[in-house]
Amino acid sequence: MSQIILLVVAFGFFLFSLPVLAADQNPQSPQLVEHSPAKSAPPLQSVNQAPSKSAPQLQPVKLTSAPPVLGEVDYWIDPDRPHIADSSVNVPKGLMLQENGFQQLYANRRSGIFDFPETLMRLGVTNKTELRFSTPNYFSQYGVVLNSDLISSTQRSVGFQNMEAGFKRRLGPIGPTKFQISVNPYISVPSGFSNQSKRVDPFIKFPFSQEINEHWDIEGMESFFDPTGIDGRHNLDWQNALVLNRSWGRQKNVFIEYVGDVFEHGPMSNLIHFGGAYRPTWRQQMDVQFGFRMNNAAPIAFFGFGYSFLVGSLNTPRLTPSRFKR
């Protein structure tokens, strides 16, 4: 059943930002450099006798400061979270980014899922490539059911989701607008718990971003998931995510996101997603996010928090770009 969805979202964010302190470099003081003459100095002469040649003069020479060297502070942490669309850029070579968080989801008024720690480890191996590994995620699921006597009871189940492994390759920047796009293929590895796929399933994502100006950018992701259900059947999922992001320097940003899932078997799911992040240093990020359904096929609501950090040091002068500008 084909569905046509017209989404018009009025977006307005206002946030009081803290000033970003920038250290000014003091120019070096000019020094006097004495140039030695090519020949020996002329002998002393009386005041009434003019010298045959002018004496060498001391000339001031202004020393310019050395050009700035690209260093670690030129790159700021750029996690995939908190929005559903991944970051369009990779982690630089020599750094490892770890993302963590938790989420509470309400599928309907009678059931929900809590999961953590949502750990994703991203290791930069080249200027444009990173390796990715997601640890098995713990989840606790509950639901209210009716027995044969029409008495309601709450059933709970716990377990671990399948682990995931793959890589991300940045293909941008492309064209004069420096359009960023990446490809992220990965697979899921069975964890052995119930209610999880027993097979190795393939997935692929195409995150992208386009800067509008120093404060605004558009981000998104096209994804294809092909998980295997408990009954052994595949249910192809084509996911579309579109993000409008507002940044205040490198430390703060907020966003609004639309996410739609088109399933091979089942109705289309649509939800709206909000959130923001704060980066106290170039190595750390704290984030918050929440969302609501736009149709009955999507979860009623969800919210979550996260913390991400960088370890390691940069070992290449060609730094990976960051979506967050100075």
Model pLDDT for residues 230-239, shown as the tens digit of each residue:
777 888 999 9
Model pLDDT for residues 239-290, shown as the tens digit of each residue:
999 999 999 988 999 999 999 999 988 899 999 999 999 999 999 999 999 9
CA dihedral 191→80→245→183, nearest 10 degrees, is -90
pLDDT of residue 40 exceeding 80: no
Domains and CATH numbers, the chain: 72-312 (2.40.160.40)
pLDDT of residue 60 exceeding 70: no
Model pLDDT for residues 122-131, shown as the tens digit of each residue:
999 998 999 9
Please answer whether residues 187 and 202 qualify as being in contact, where contact means their C-beta atoms are separated by less than 8 angstroms. yes
Q: How far apart are CA 138 and CA 134, in angstroms?
A: 12
Model pLDDT for residues 82-110, shown as the tens digit of each residue:
999 999 999 989 899 999 999 999 988 88
Model pLDDT for residues 151-181, shown as the tens digit of each residue:
656 778 888 888 999 999 999 899 999 999 9
Q: What is the pTM of this model?
A: 0.72
Q: How far apart are CA 284 and CA 271, in angstroms?
A: 28
Which tokens go with 125?
A: 């191996």
pLDDT of residue 324 exceeding 90: no
Mean pLDDT is highest, among 107-121, 279-293, 308-322, for 279-293
Model pLDDT for residues 128-145, shown as the tens digit of each residue:
999 999 999 998 888 866
In percent, the amount of the chain with pLDDT more than 70 equals 70
pLDDT of residue 228 exceeding 90: no
